A and B are shown apart, each in its own frame.
Chain A
Amino acid sequence: MLEIKDLTVEIGGRIILNKVNLKVEQGSTTVLFGPNGAGKSALLMTLMGFSGYDIVGGQILFKGEDITHLSVNERAERGLGIMTQRPPNLTGVKLKDLVQVINNDHSLDTEAASKKLDMERFMDRDVNVGFSGGEIKRSELLQLSAQNPCLYLLDEPESGVDLVSIEKIGTTIDEMLSSRSKCSVDHRKRGNSALIITHTGQVLDYVEPDVGYILCNGTVMCRGNPREMLKEIKAQGYQECIECKVGHL
């Protein structure tokens, strides 16, 4: 589904990601661990094509196509969808209108979807303006479910969210990942693909991960069993992982 080859990225002339290699298989939920400042968010932003993340080396392949230099919306059209940590306020843009525009093929019952995510009250509000942490995440998920991407790029879906919301967010993500995929290249596998950043691993209470990666200092240190990785990180911090006791490249 996604293949990142020797990807090197600069922000303002400073190298943030250095020769990153990573793969997300069709239908796989891949988890990205790493300490603060490792470059995890930068990797997701780069994959989506946001400006300010200058690719100075390497390649991004999506479903076999080189998308390294495509625009943001071209990537979205090909099936990438992102939930960022801090989406911008869109003053005057009603959530209802945005969801309707995204849902241009009318495949989503927006009323039911907003009800399920407890976002009905927010449909007439300006997108993200005055939203709490949990409300932002639920709004992002509502937009993503209208978008229905093949690959979900989720940046810490549990951060800034209270315990009740976490359950709603976690189960929704699980449903979205295991639901129909409009872009399966391998018909033996069901469901969508995901690359999820998590700090605490809380989201893994709801979503079954297949593969884990650890990113440190802008580069991938290990690849391995995500549950074991998380256990090790919880016990030892990232030092152990950096030494790759639990994984291998």
Chain B
Amino acid sequence: MQSGTSLKERAEKAIEKSAMYGEDYDLNEFEVAAKEVPQTEDLEDLDDEFKQTLLNVGVLTDDKERSGSFLMVDNAVSHSSLKDPNIELMSLHEAMEKHDWLKDYSWKLVAVDADKYTAKSYLENANGYFIRAPAGQKSSMPVQTCLVMGHKDIAQTVHNILIVEEDAKLDVITGCTTKKGVERAMHLGISEIYVKKGGVLNFTMIHNWADDVSVRPRTVIHLEEGASFVNNYILLKPVRSIQSYPTAILDGEGAFARFHTIAVAHPGSELDLGSRVLFNAPNTKAELISRTITTGGKVIARGEMVANKPHCKGHLECHGLVLKDGGTQLAIPVLEANVADVELTHEAAVGRIAREQVEYLMARGLSEEDAVGMIVRGFLDVGITGLPEELAKDIDDTIAQIGKEAV
């Protein structure tokens, strides 16, 4: 850990600091997760139940279609394998030892004293994944990473660093989940992502938690000139509380960021999901698209765009469906222009599915349940591609269930 004392002091001071948003947790109520876990030689060796758990967050145990796989259980790495020799994939701790320069990337985008969750992660010397696509490398298949909480009442602390060097292209699928039977736990995840000049990163994150799990990711993405970042976030299953507000900093001319958020709030779930873009260079562009559904839980869909340089263009779209009474949709779009020549727009709509749409499909012979299911599926379809078939089926089943419950 670099510049030790000052960061440590700052973290220690912030260990009680509440986050700006979301339910406040006492981290002392959770046991810090184990830092040693059994090693998994081959993901295929995992038992069927565990394999299914991974599959449900898009992580394939048969890694034929992946250029690398990384599995973290509790606070330790259980598996790391690489098929594409042109990419680097290893634990962050290992990477910090290997690359002296990496300290210049660690805790640079996310502040250790942002809140108690960042402070805790720093003080626990959180491990996580390190992925780097060297300059000009274009990996044909995605790297997959999986963060699993294996025991109840634990706090998992994760710190990831992802670097896409100049003109490199990388796809990453990250699944975060709990082992079956782990009903209550806390996940803290720090991600610092760097996309350099002309680099492209497609980042898909699938969350699948349990009823009483709370999640506090802290993510910042830094983009240089002409860099492109697409973030897909999918959460369709019950959870207690998620509060996440990833920020993309468009720091080079022509940089582009897009955030897709697809989430369902079940009864008892509180989802405080936002995305923020800072347009700090001219001719930068961004799109924030959020499609959320409540079947009884609470959704807060935040979005913020801050234009600080001319010729920026951004669009923010928050659409929320309320399928049942008892659910709440709160859309909070924020647009801030600090120079004249910018174009920021937003579109927000919350409410129920239009009766007219349901009946249109019923007039074609679909049952009300199937009609709602089809509309919900369409609503959530923002064109995320590359998900494994098994996951697509799980998503379909979940949506069908939502359709059933909504009628």
Interface contact B378-A91, CB-CB below 8 Å: yes
- Distance in angstroms between the alpha carbons of A91 and B361 in the assembled complex: 13
B330 at the interface (CB under 8 A from A): no
Per the CB 8 Å criterion, the residue count for chain A at the interface is 29
- Stretch from B15-23, B153-161, B362-370 contacting the other chain: B362-370
Nearest CB of chain A from residue B199's CB, rounded to whole Å: 30
Other-chain contact of B359, A51, A81, A92, A104 (Cβ < 8 Å) = A51
Instruction: From A49, A71, A73, A91, name the one whose CB has the most chain B CB atoms within 10 angstroms.
Output: A73
Within B333-361, the residues touching A (CB, 8 Å) are 354-357, 359-361
The one of B360, B362, B367, B368 in contact with A90, judged by C-beta atoms closer than 8 angstroms, is B360
Q: Check if A90 sits within 8 Å of B365, measured CB to CB.
A: no
Q: Does B381 contact A (CB under 8 A)?
A: yes
The answer to whether A98 touches B359, judged by C-beta atoms less than 8 angstroms apart, is: no
Contact B359 A90 (CB under 8 A): no
B364 engages A90 (CB within 8 Å): no
**CA distance in complex: A72, B361 (Å):** 9
Q: B367 to chain A: which residues have CB within 8 Å?
A: 73
A74-115 vs B, CB cutoff 8 Å, 1 = contact: the mask equals 011100111010011011111001100110100000000000
In the complex, whether A126 has a CB less than 8 A from a CB of chain B is yes
**Is the CB of B377 closer than 8 A to any CB of chain A?**
yes
> Which residues of chain A are near B381, meaning CB under 8 Å?
92
State the CA gap A104–B371 with chains docked (Å).
Answer: 14
A73 and B363 contacting across the interface, CB-CB below 8 Å: yes
User: How many whole Å from A229's CB to the nearest CB in chain B?
Assistant: 28
Pick from B360, B374, B380: contact of A101, CB under 8 Å = B374
Whether, in the assembled complex, B375 has its beta carbon less than 8 Å from a beta carbon of chain A, the answer is: yes
Using A88-B354, A101-B374 as known contacts, say yes or no to A76 and B379 having CB atoms under 8 A apart: no
Pick from B356, B364, B378: contact of A143, CB under 8 Å:
B364
Report chain B residues within 8 Å CB of A80: 363
Contacts A51-B355, A88-B354, A92-B380 hold; do A77 and B375 have CB atoms under 8 A apart? no
Nearest residue, chain B, Cβ from A78: B365
Say which residue of A81, A84, A92, A101 sits within 8 Å of B379 (CB atoms).
A92
Bound state CA distance, A82 and B354, in angstroms? 19
Across the interface, do B364 and A88 meet the contact criterion of CB distance under 8 Å? Answer: no
Chain A residues contacting B377 (CB-CB under 8 Å) are: 92-93
B378 touches A77 (CB 8 A): no
Q: A51-B359, A72-B359 are in contact. Are A93 and B364 (CB under 8 A)?
A: no
Q: Smallest Cβ distance from B289 to chain A, in angstroms? A: 12
**Closest-CB distance, B364 to chain A (whole angstroms):** 5
| In contact, B365 and A73 (Cβ under 8 angstroms) | yes
Evaluate contact between B356 and A71: CB separation under 8 angstroms: no
Q: Are B363 and A91 in contact (CB under 8 A)?
A: no
Across-interface contacts of B359 in A (CB, < 8 A): 49-51, 72
Q: Which residue of B lies closest to A72 (CB)?
A: B362
Residues of A with C-beta under 8 A to B355: 51
Contact with B along A115-126 (1 / 0, CB 8 A): 000000000001
Q: Do A102 and B356 have beta carbons less than 8 Å apart? A: no
Give the residue of B365, B379, B380, B382 whose beta carbon is less than 8 angstroms from that of A102: B365
Q: Which residues of B contact A1 (CB under 8 A)?
A: none
Interface residue A20 (Cβ < 8 Å from any Cβ of B): no
Cα A72 to Cα B378 with chains together (Å): 21
CB distance from A237 to the nearest CB of B (A): 33
Please tell me if A48 contacts chain B, counting CB pairs below 8 Å: yes
Separation of A84 and B357 alpha carbons in the complex (Å): 12
When the two chains form their complex, are residues B368 and A73 in contact, meaning their CB atoms are under 8 A apart?
yes
In the assembled complex, how far is the CB of residue A244 from the closest CB belonging to chain B, in whole angstroms?
33
Chain B 240-266: CB-based contact to A (< 8 A → 1; otherwise 0): 000000000000000000000000000
Q: How far is the CB of A126 from chain B (nearest CB, A)?
A: 7
CB-based contact B374/A76 at 8 Å: no
B-contacting residues, A133-177, CB 8 Å:
143, 147
Query: Is B374's CB under 8 angstroms from A98's CB?
Result: yes
B375: contacting residue among A81, A87, A90, A143, CB under 8 A: A90
Contact with A along B376-405 (1 / 0, CB 8 A): 011111100000000000000000000000
- Docked complex Cα distance between A199 and B365 (Å): 28
Residues on B with C-beta less than 8 A from A94 are 378
Can you add 13 more A-B contacts, CB < 8 Å, to A88-B360, A101-B366, A102-B365?
A51-B355, A71-B368, A72-B362, A73-B363, A73-B367, A73-B368, A76-B364, A77-B365, A92-B379, A92-B381, A102-B364, A126-B378, A147-B364
